Chains A and B, each alone.
Chain A
Amino acid sequence: MDLRDSAEEAAFRAGLRDWLARSVPVTTGTAGAPARGRWDDVDAVRSFSAALHEAGYAGLTWPVEYGGRGLSPVHQAIYLEESARAEAGEHIGVIGLGMVGPTVIACGSPAQRAWYLPRILTGEIIFCQGFSEPEAGSDLSAVRTLARRDGDELVVTGRKVWSSYAHLADHCLLLARTDPDATRHRGLSCLLVDLRTPGVTVRPIRQMTGEAEFAEIEFDEVRVPLDAVVGEIGDGWRVAMTTLAHERGTFGFTLTARLEVAFRRLVATARARGRDTDPLVRDQIAARYVELEGLRWTNRRALAELRRTGTPGPETSVVKLRWSQAHQRLTALAVLLTADGRPDGWDRYWRREMLRSRANTIEGGTSQVLRNVIAERVLGLPRSY
C-alpha cells in the first residue's frame, strides 16, 4: 500500500495542473458564486473539448490504436480530480468518451470504430444514450422500442426518456427490441442512430430546477442501416451491460471530484455568510467532510481492485449510493446557510444545486436498485420479492 503518486503519476499530474491553469476559462459569477449550468454555453464547451483533445487529455484510457493515450485508470482518476479542482468544464462528449466509445471499442465493428471513435474524441459528434423508456427505467429488459427488419435496414419506432443532453446530441446509442417474440433481455439489439434521420423528434424535458438537461426522444419509423448494429442482432443486452459497466468504472471519481468542489464552495459560503463560527454549522461541515473523504478513499480502494482484476466490482455501487446521499445533504445544508435572503449569487446557486441533487438518488440507478445489487451480489442475500 502506497497512497502517494508514483514518480510518473506525479509528473502527469503536474503537467495536467499546469495545462489546466492556463486553459480553464474563469467563469466566476457575482460575489464569488460560480456561474450557472455547465452546458449553458455550448460553443464554449465545444472549444474547451477541442482544446482538451489537442492537449491529449481526451480518451486517456482508450487504446492508442483508437486515438487514446493507453493510460491506466489511475491517470483517468488523476485527470478527473485535477480538472474538478480546477473547476474545468467537462468534455462535451462525456457520454461518448466514457460510455459509447468504450462500448464501440469492445463490441463494435472495424468500420464503426474507424468512423465514430476519432469524432467522439474531438467532440465533433456528441452522443446521448437511449436506454430508458417510460415503462422501462430501472428494468431495461422491459424495453419496448421496436426495431423491425426491412431489407438492409431496421425501422425503429418507440419512445425513450431521461436521455441526458439528447437535445445537444447528434447521435444516440439506442437499445431496441429486434425480436418481439423473444422474452425479456433476449431479443434486444444496440444501435448507433443518427438523430438527424427523418422521423426522430427530440423534446427537452424541463426539470424541477427549471432547466432541461435531459430529453424525450421519439422514433417514428426511423430507418437505420443494418451496419449501425453494435455487435450482433439480438446481442443488445450484453452490449448495454458493457456500456453500464463503463459507466461504473471511474465514474465514482467524477462524482467525488464534483463533491469535493461542492464542499469547497460550502466552506466558502459559510465564510461569506459569517456562519463558519456557528458550532452547529461547523459540526455539519465536518460531517460532510468525513463523507467526502470516505468516498475519496473508497474510490482509491476500488481502483486498486480494478487494477488487479480488470473489472469494477459491484462494490462500486456503494460509491454511487453514498455519494448521492452525501451530495443531497451538502446542498441542503448550503441552502440553509443562504436562507437569509441576501441575493449575492450563492443563494441562487445553491437553490439550483439542492433541487438538482434530488435526481442523484434516481439517475444512473436508483438507490433502491443499488441496495438490491449490494444485498444480492455483494452480501449474498436471497433475491428480494
Chain B
Amino acid sequence: MDFALTGEQETWRDTAAKYLADERAAGDSDRTWADVTGLGWLDSELGTVELALLAEQLGHARSPLPWWSTIGLAGPALRAAGREPRRPATLAWAEEAGPGTLAALLAPHRPGGGMSCTVAADGTVRGRKVAVPHAAEAVDLVVAVAGPDGVELRLVDASALRPAPTDAGPAGLDPTRPAGTVELSGVASTPLVAADASGDVLAAIRRRTLALLAAEAVGVATRALAWAVGYATTRTQFGRPIGANQAVAHPLADLYGQVETARSLAYRAAWSVDAEPGPVADRAVAAAAVAGREAATAACETAIQTYGGSGFTWEQPLHHWYRRAWWLATFDGTVADLRAELAASLLDGASGQDAPGR
C-alpha cells in the first residue's frame, strides 16, 4: 500500500504544468495540438493516473484544449477498434429524444438504447446529435447509433459533415468548453465497436471521463485556492493583510481540507479505473466526481468572496475558472445524480461495502 506518486509521475506532472504556464499553450490550436502530440499526451502507454495528473494541470490552467474529449470520450472507442487517437476527437451520444447522459445510454439494455440515430446496411448514419463536446474542433467523431443488434459505436470524419458542426456559442457555461449539434444526413462511417461490446466500452468511456474530469476539477479548485491565499496574504485592510483575519482565513483552511480530500479521491479513482475496473471503480469514480465538483465550485466561490468586489469583475480572471467549475458540475448529470448512483450501489447491492485492503 503506497499512495505516493512515483518520481516519474511527479516529473510528468511538473512538465505539463511548465508547458501550460507558457503563453504558447493558450495560442492557436493547430500548433498547440502538435505540441500536445509531441509531449506524448496521447500516448497509448499512459495509465489513467498519468492522464489524471495531466487533467489536473489542464484544469489548473483552464486549458481550452479538446484533449479530454479525445483521450477520455473518443479514445477508448478508437482503441477498442485498434486505432490510436492522433487528432482532436470527441464522442456524440446525446440526442434530443434519446438518452441525455452517458449513464442513461448505458442503463437501458435494449436494442438501440432508445436512440433515433441509425446506421444503414451500407454504413451511412442518419440522425442528429446534440450537446457534442468540442463538436466544431473535433476531426474524428465517434457516434453512438442504433444498429440492428443494439448500440454501435462508429467513426465519422468531421470533414464529411454537411453542414459542419457549429458551437452553441458563448451562451454555454464555459465558452472554452463549447458543445454543438451534429447533423448526420446519411454520412459515411466506419465501424469501431459492435453492439455486443458497446456496453462495456461505453462504461469504460464514462468511467475514464468522469475520473479525468474529477482530476480536472481538483486542478480548478487548487488554482482558485492559490489565488485566494495569494490575495489574502498581500491585500491589506485596516493596516494588516486580510488573511490575518480569521473570518477570511478559516474558510480558506476549510477549503484546503475539501480540496485535499477531493485530490485523494481523484487519484484513487484514476488508479482504480485501471486496477479494479467494474463496480469498485465505478464507486470510486462517482465519489471522486462528487468531491471534485463540489470542491471546484466551492473553491471558486470562496476565492471570489475573498477578492471582494474586484472578484466579481470581468477583468478579474476568476470567473473563467468559475465557469469551468460549473461546466464540470453539470457534465453528464449532477452531483445529485452521482449520489443517487452511489446510493444504489451502497443500498441496493448485496454487501454494500467495499472489500477492505485491496
Contact = CB atoms under 8 A, between A and B. Distances in A.
Interface of A: 1-6, 9-10, 13, 74, 77-78, 81-82, 85, 264, 267, 270-271, 276, 279, 282-283, 285-287, 289-291, 293-295, 297-298, 300-301, 303-305, 307-308, 315, 318, 321-322, 368, 370-372, 374-376, 378-385
Interface stretch (B103-111, B155-163, B239-247): B239-247
B255 to A, nearest CB: 9
Contact of A381 (B252, B268, B284, B357): B252
Contact of B3 (A82, A286, A297, A383): A297
Contact of B233 (A13, A85, A305, A382): A382
Given A1-B3, A286-B343, A295-B261, A379 B244 contact: no
A380 to B, nearest CB: 7
Given A303-B3, A315-B260, A371 B254 contact: yes
Contact of A81 (B9, B260, B342, B356): B356
A370 B249 CA distance: 11
A304 B257 contact: no
Q: Which of A308, A321, A382 has the most CB of B within 10 A?
A: A382
Contacts of A321: 253-254, 257
Contacts of B265: 290, 293-294, 297
A284 B346 CA distance: 12
B260 A286 contact: no
29 contacts: A1-B5, A1-B49, A3-B1, A9-B357, A10-B357, A13-B356, A78-B357, A267-B347, A279-B340, A286-B343, A289-B346, A290-B265, A290-B291, A290-B339, A293-B284, A297-B261, A300-B1, A300-B264, A301-B263, A301-B264, A303-B1, A372-B253, A375-B246, A376-B249, A379-B229, A379-B256, A384-B244, A385-B240, A385-B245
A-B pairs, top 3 by smallest CB distance, nearest first, are A294-B261, A282-B343, A286-B339
Contact of A382 (B1, B243, B352): B243
B249 A384 contact: yes
B185 to A, nearest CB: 41
A372 B261 CA distance: 19
Contacts of B243: 375, 381-382
A283 B257 contact: no
A310 to B, nearest CB: 14
B303 interface: no
B271 interface: yes
Interface string B340-356: 10111011000011001
Contact of B244 (A371, A374, A383): A383
Contact of B262 (A286, A294, A368): A294
B250 interface: yes
B271 A3 contact: yes
A52 B263 CA distance: 36
B249 A3 contact: no
A291 B265 CA distance: 10
A57 to B, nearest CB: 16
Contacts of B343: 282-283, 285-286
A328 to B, nearest CB: 14
A1 B271 contact: yes
A289 B1 contact: no
B299 interface: no
Nearest to A308: B4
A305 B4 contact: yes
B295 to A, nearest CB: 10
Nearest to B261: A294
Given A3-B3, A81-B357, A305-B4, 14 more contacts: A1-B3, A1-B5, A2-B1, A267-B347, A283-B340, A283-B343, A285-B343, A285-B346, A286-B346, A289-B346, A295-B261, A300-B268, A381-B233, A382-B240
Contacts of B287: 289-290, 293-294
Given A297-B268, A382-B244, A290 B290 contact: yes
Contacts of A81: 356-357
Interface of B: 1-6, 9, 49, 229, 232-233, 240-241, 243-246, 249-250, 252-254, 256-258, 260-265, 267-268, 271-272, 275, 284, 287, 290-291, 336, 338-340, 342-344, 346-347, 352-353, 356-358
Given A1-B2, A300-B1, A371-B250, A285 B244 contact: no
Contacts of B1: 2-6, 9, 74, 77, 300, 303
A296 B311 CA distance: 34
Contact of B358 (A5, A276, A298, A376): A5
Nearest to A376: B249
Residue among A282, A289, A303 with max Cβ neighbours from chain B (10 Å) = A289
A3 B356 contact: no
B6 A1 contact: yes
A33 to B, nearest CB: 18
A295 B260 CA distance: 10
A375 B240 contact: no
A285 B347 contact: yes
B340 A286 contact: yes
A3 B261 contact: no
Contacts of B263: 301
Contacts of A2: 1-2
Contacts of A305: 4
A28 B245 CA distance: 49
Given A287-B339, A294-B264, A375 B249 contact: yes
Contacts of A295: 261
